[in-house]
Amino acid sequence: MSAPLLEVRNLEVRARNAAGQEVPIVRDASFTLAKGEVLALIGESGSGKTTIALALLGYAKPGCRIAGGSIRLGETDVLGLSKSALRDFRGRRVSYVAQSAAASFNPSLTIMAQVTEMAMLHGIGSAAEAEKRAIALFRALALPDPTRIGARYPHQVSGGQLQRLMAAMALIAEPELVVLDEPTTALDVTTQIEVLRAFKQVVKGSGVSAVYVSHDLAVVAQMADRILVLRNGEMQEIGPTGEILAAPKHPYTQSLLAAAAPTPRGAAAAPEAPPLLEVRGLTAGYGRIDAQGNPTLPVLRDIDFTIRRGSSLGVIGESGSGKSTLARVIAGLLPAARGEVMLDGAALPPALARRTPAQLRRIQLVFQSADTALNPRASVASILGRPIEFFHGVKGAARDARVKRLLDLVQLPASVADRQPGALSGGQKQRVNLARALAAEPDLILCDEVTSALDTVVGAAILDLMDGLRRELGLSTMFISHDLHTVRSVCDEVMVLYAGERVEAGSRRAIQEAPWHPYTNLLISSVPELRQGWLERRGSVRGPEAAAGARPACAFFARCGLAMPGLCDVTPPPRRTLAKAAEILCHRDEAALMQASIPAGP
């Protein structure tokens, strides 16, 4: 093998902690990368994967310092470069693609100006040449309308497109190495697939080397030639992708693999318990409500479902499908325009202000991001103590005892009570978030993407905890997620939302069996599988951007592989009950759907 393009030796990065001491956050990292190779850095948050990735650009986050070791890119000693040499080096020879493209683009400049900026900055060719190269990259990244997309502003393109444009920005100056930092983590599965495909094509096509940072093994399996597993800043294992996936040597890698393939939790089927929450013909949205009870901007249309006592309903859909709005409507934060929500057979008033404290107590919300869901200026004790006081009128020592019991219930030490949320880890914060909902002693908990901000292993622990609590306390849950894996592993029943409509609903068993509604089919087949070559075999996907424009009778019409023009876009799809006891909203009959669910042959 020829000399490697990148060689990292004994890299050590130190950070200053709250007490002012320097502690190593990356220790003794050594690896090499050949030209055209893709190396994945994988690990939980705090494993040092992003820190290593940034060090490759000769950069350390504020408060951190590259303390030792060497990084060589070709003939260049990266850590020995002066400040001005680093400016030339970054972007020109190594470039970076960040997780959130939306935050990385300047909203007031056109896309073309920002994509070509790097080339202009490094003085590579004229503006016209840079634009030509940008258009070629847009084409290679399979962006729609490559010649004109550059004239748009960042808010005028979709999230998936923006992420690809970010890759174009990174590649414009033809660097030797590109660092991709969780570039698809924030995307929906159906969007992710096209972005991954585009990245892979461009990386293979241009012969650039890449370092791909991710916590998702299945994604990494599609992208990387080799995988480096990190934990707490130390290398655990490095090897070719196939070997790591098939025969992981290190126990930590084995546990990561185990967490990526979730085990089913909870009861297999919903017990014949009485219904707790019934929702009938629910329509909700924003803006003025007309005489027929339709809001100007409808978000949810005619939703029906039932949650039985002690069971769990999963709600899945991509962003914009109305799943979070559903939780807000049930909680009373957004009054429904039409339809009814019944708790234990009694209709709930649509608006929050008209509900009684007892009704409010019985339904609790848990939000996705524990960072914004917990008051940063309040102690954990007061965050948990307030609902106890508010709903149960318990004060003083009795309240403190209950707080302690709650912390115990979510498996947190009692010492956490005096701390503020800022001093807790992500997983701990999510447990406090959950404990606050439990403090009210509710019957129903609405969980909005509670694990999507967490690492796989931490998220799995939260799911286990929730499942245990559900059985222990007889709680019902509504579990909102964009992650099919999560929903399938924790829920007894699953409801699929698309553009505010319930396109499929059935038991967990039903959702695992064909046939499906075409959209469910798309969702299921878009989740990356933990084997190499899956991405290549997976056919092309029509992402959400395909459905722009006027809304046809069936909202999924533009993206549907089975659409029948003249019928699907004109007549609203009927509700159909399949043999697997699931209800779908589709014109196609069961046989046709079954045929479409069988994956195309090789």
Partner 1 sequence: MIRRLSPAGLLGLLILAFWVAMAVFGAAVAPHAAGRIVDMEVFLPVSADYPLGTDYLGRDMLSRVLHGTRYTVGVALGAALIASGSGLMLGMCAAVWGGMVDGAISRALDTLISIPSKMFALVVVAAFGSSVPVLILMAGIIYTPGAYRIARSLAVSVNAQDFVTVARARGEGTLYLVRAEILPNIIGPVLADFGLRFVYIVLLLAGMSFLGLGVQPPNADWGSLVRENMAGLHEAAPAVLMPAFAIASLTIGVNLAIDVLGGGRREGDGH
Q: Which CB sits closer to partner 1, 367 or 479?
A: 367
- Dihedral in degrees, nearest 10, Cα atoms 372, 376, 382, 387: -20
Tokens of 582: 């699931």
Residue 118 DSSP SS3: helix
Q: Which CB sits closer to partner 1, 374 or 578?
A: 374
Query: Is residue 390 a contact point for partner 1 (CB under 8 A)?
Result: yes
Residue matched to tokens 């400016």 = 87
Q: Which CB sits closer to partner 1, 445 or 584?
A: 445
3-state secondary structure 489-547: HHCCEEEEEECCEEEEEEEHHHHHCCCCCHHHHHHHHHCCCCCCCHHHHCCCCCCHHHH
Q: Which CB sits closer to partner 1, 376 or 413?
A: 376
List b or e across 352-379, with b for residues whose CB sees 16 or more CB atoms inside 10 angstroms. Answer: eeebeeebbbbbbbbbbbbeebbeeeeb
Query: Is residue 378 a contact point for partner 1 (CB under 8 A)?
Result: yes
CA angle centred on 263, ends 259 and 267, rounded to 5°: 145
Q: Which CB sits closer to partner 1, 57 or 440?
A: 440
Beta carbons within 8 Å of 145's beta carbon, 6+ residues apart: none
Figure out which of the listed residues 65, 265, 386, 485 binds partner 1, where binding follows CB under 8 A. 386
Looking at 351-359, 536-544, 572-580, 592-600, which segment touches partner 1 (CB under 8 A)?
351-359
Tokens of 361: 């107590």
How far is residue 585's CA from residue 464's CA, in Å, rounded to a whole number? 33
User: Are 116 and 199 a contacting pair, CB within 8 Å?
Assistant: no
Query: Is residue 394 a contact point for partner 1 (CB under 8 A)?
Result: no
Query: Is residue 360 a contact point for partner 1 (CB under 8 A)?
Result: yes
Of residues 497 through 526, those in contact with partner 1 by CB under 8 A are: none
For β-strands 476-481 and 444-448, DSSP reports them as: parallel
Residue matched to tokens 């803006």 = 287
Query: Is residue 269 a contact point for partner 1 (CB under 8 A)?
Result: no
How far is residue 409's CA from residue 401's CA, in Å, rounded to a whole number? 12
Looking at 144-152, 195-203, 352-360, 563-571, which segment touches partner 1 (CB under 8 A)?
352-360
Query: Is residue 376 a contact point for partner 1 (CB under 8 A)?
Result: yes
Figure out which of the listed residues 160, 248, 387, 426 binds partner 1, where binding follows CB under 8 A. 387
**Amino acid in position 297:** L
User: Are 541 and 342 a contacting pair, CB within 8 Å?
Assistant: no
Write down the least CB distance from residue 365 to partner 1, Å. Answer: 5
Write down the least CB distance from residue 19 to partner 1, Å. Answer: 14
Figure out which of the listed residues 440, 447, 450, 522 binds partner 1, where binding follows CB under 8 A. 440
Figure out which of the listed residues 96, 138, 391, 516 binds partner 1, where binding follows CB under 8 A. 391
Query: Is residue 296 a contact point for partner 1 (CB under 8 A)?
Result: no
Residue matched to tokens 């350390």 = 60
Q: Which CB sits closer to partner 1, 297 or 550?
A: 297
Residue 574 DSSP SS3: coil
Q: What is the Cα gyration radius of the chain? A: 26
Write down the least CB distance from residue 260 to partner 1, Å. Answer: 28
Query: Is residue 288 a contact point for partner 1 (CB under 8 A)?
Result: no
Query: Is residue 479 a contact point for partner 1 (CB under 8 A)?
Result: no
Query: Is residue 381 a contact point for partner 1 (CB under 8 A)?
Result: no
Figure out which of the listed residues 83, 377, 396, 601 binds partner 1, where binding follows CB under 8 A. 377
Figure out which of the listed residues 60, 307, 374, 444 binds partner 1, where binding follows CB under 8 A. 374
Query: Is residue 352 a contact point for partner 1 (CB under 8 A)?
Result: yes
Query: Could you tell me the strand order of the sheet in which 6-16 lies?
Result: 22-33, 6-16, 64-73, 76-77
Looking at 170-178, 220-228, 362-370, 572-580, which segment touches partner 1 (CB under 8 A)?
362-370
Tokens of 69: 């070791």
Looking at 98-106, 208-216, 282-290, 360-368, which segment touches partner 1 (CB under 8 A)?
360-368
Number of residues in contact with partner 1 under rule CB under 8 A: 26
Figure out which of the listed residues 332, 339, 528, 552 binds partner 1, where binding follows CB under 8 A. 332
Write down the least CB distance from residue 361 to partner 1, Å. Answer: 8
Write down the least CB distance from residue 485 to partner 1, Å. Answer: 24
Long-range contact pairs involving 15-24 (C-beta distance under 8 Å, separation at least 24): 15/61, 15/63, 15/64, 15/65, 16/63, 16/64, 22/65, 22/67, 24/67, 24/233
Q: Which CB sits closer to partner 1, 149 or 410?
A: 410
Q: Where does this chain bind partner 1 (CB under 8 A)?
A: 331-333, 352, 355, 357, 360, 364-365, 367-369, 372-378, 386-387, 390-391, 422, 436, 440
